[in-house]
Amino acid sequence: MSIEIKGIIPAMVTPLDENEDLDEAALRRFVNFLIDAGVHGLFPIGSQGEFYAFSPEEKRQVWEIVVDETAGRVPVYAGTGAITTRQVKELNKIAEDVGVQALSIMSPFFISPTDEELYEHYMDIADATSLPVLPYNNPGRTGVRLSPVLISRLAEHPNIVGIKDSGGDLTVTIEMIRRTDDTFAVLMGRDSLIYAGLHHGIKGAIAASGSVVPALVVEIYEAFQAGDMELALAAQERLLPLRLAFGLGTFPVVVRDAVNMIGIPVGPARKPVTSLTGDAREKLRRTLIQMGVL
């Protein structure tokens, strides 16, 4: 299936029950909550979805449920990041089998591969799949930076069609755009920079805050596309307090707690990560109240 990679794609929380097992009913409700808000795609089992916490079989379950419940309404981007090339290819095969439309692949973590090793890693992955591949740059989590020069080389592969850039350096994002052509989709991964990135040519965003306030994040993109810069900027400014609140707890629990607070039950994170308490929880609650969503 050929897809146009664009718009707002929430990085989904993975709903769990009180025993930290997958909650299928909650996941199906969550899919519809996001689609009803006007999102342009879904991204299950990314970093916000706690990809590191789930077995390959559990990932299969999540992807199957999301693909089934989505029923073709929007594309599903599977997060298949892992440390080794072999592991990624195995996850990609699972994702292909269940019918996702694209793959988002975080750079290897824990190890520190060279640019040439990263190049071979992504080229080997892209050679082994028929699905569109989007490398995922998140140096704050992986310790590995995908440079604009490397991305421009990878963009020559017909299956490598875009990148999620969560580096948080707008200059680097702009350089990725400059070094690739218009068919290559640079997606913003830092929610506070969506409006700025749109001015420089990003095609959209994979946004963790889209799990909490999907309609607000969509408003940034849709208003910008309609030429209403004032509305787009206002929506970006309304979103900023939530993005700044991400530091209140251990990643990725703040977004999960926020989704629970607004009345969409998604359960706890898998331990050792635990929910916010005390002042931190109160600060998140006040942020959501001030944003008008609680």
Asked, for residue 50, whether it belongs to a domain, the answer is yes
The answer to whether 131 and 95 have CB atoms below 8 angstroms apart is yes
pLDDT of residue 200: 98
Q: How confident is the model at residue 2 (pLDDT cuts 50, 70, 90)?
A: confident
Chain segment 19-38, per-residue pLDDT in tens? 999 999 999 999 999 999 99
Chain segment 274-289, per-residue pLDDT in tens? 999 999 999 999 999 9
**Which residue in 6, 59, 122, 136 is the catalytic one?**
136
Alpha-carbon distance 198 to 262, whole Å? 28
Asked, for residue 248, whether it belongs to a domain, the answer is no
Asked, for residue 105, whether it belongs to a domain, the answer is yes
Chain segment 84-120, per-residue pLDDT in tens? 999 999 999 999 999 999 999 999 999 999 999 999 9
144 pLDDT more than 80: yes
How confident is the prediction for the chain on average, in pLDDT? Answer: 97
Q: How far is CA 262 from CA 6, 208, 234, 257, 259, in A?
A: 27, 15, 22, 9, 5
**Which residue in 77, 164, 195, 203 is the catalytic one?**
164
Asked, for residue 259, whether it belongs to a domain, the answer is no
In the chain, how many domains are there? 1
To the query of whether residue 164 is one of the catalytic residues in this protein, the response is yes
Chain segment 236-271, per-residue pLDDT in tens? 999 999 999 999 999 999 999 999 999 999 999 999
To the query of whether residue 203 is one of the catalytic residues in this protein, the response is no
pLDDT of residue 1: 45
Asked, for residue 132, whether it belongs to a domain, the answer is yes
CATH of the domain at 87: 3.20.20.70
Closest C-alpha among 147, 145, 152 to residue 179: 152
The answer to whether 208 and 166 have CB atoms below 8 angstroms apart is no
Asked, for residue 193, whether it belongs to a domain, the answer is yes
- Compute CA 43 distance to the chain's CA centroid, rounded to the nearest angstrom: 5
Chain segment 186-206, per-residue pLDDT in tens? 999 999 999 999 999 999 999
The answer to whether 276 and 287 have CB atoms below 8 angstroms apart is no
10 pLDDT more than 70: yes
